[in-house]
Amino acid sequence: MGLSARLGPVEDRRRLANHLRVMTMEAQTLARACGEVHLLHLEPEDLVALTIESAAMARVPPAGTNRIPWEGL
């Protein structure tokens, strides 16, 4: 039995709203960690990846480097 079969529409909406609130708070925390006061102030240069695989997929450099893996090969 899937999650949607166990929850009613009211509880589904509450959980979705809570998930979106938490994701927004986490994104705001990350922006502050980059020295920005608002998400809109983040620049592409603020984006880094924590693994080589995610860096290659997102086409951003791994944290602590300036090189994007497998780019230009």
Q: Is 20 left (phi over 0), alpha (psi -120 to 50) or beta?
A: alpha
Whether 14 contacts 20, CB under 8 Å: no
Taking alpha carbons only, the member of 43, 47, 73, 41 closest to residue 60 is 47
* pLDDT computed for residue 70 by the predictor: 79
- Mean pLDDT: which of 11-15, 16-20, 31-35, 67-71 is highest? 16-20
Query: Over 90: is that where the pLDDT of 25 sits?
Result: yes
Query: Over 90: is that where the pLDDT of 1 sits?
Result: no
**What's the pLDDT band for 24 if we cut at 50, 70, 90?**
very high
Q: How far is CA 60 from CA 3, 9, 30, 39, in A?
A: 35, 39, 16, 18
In this prediction the pTM is 0.56
Mean predicted lDDT score pLDDT of the chain: 84
Q: What is the CA radius of gyration of the chain?
A: 18
Please report which helix (H) or strand (E) contains residue 46, including its range: none
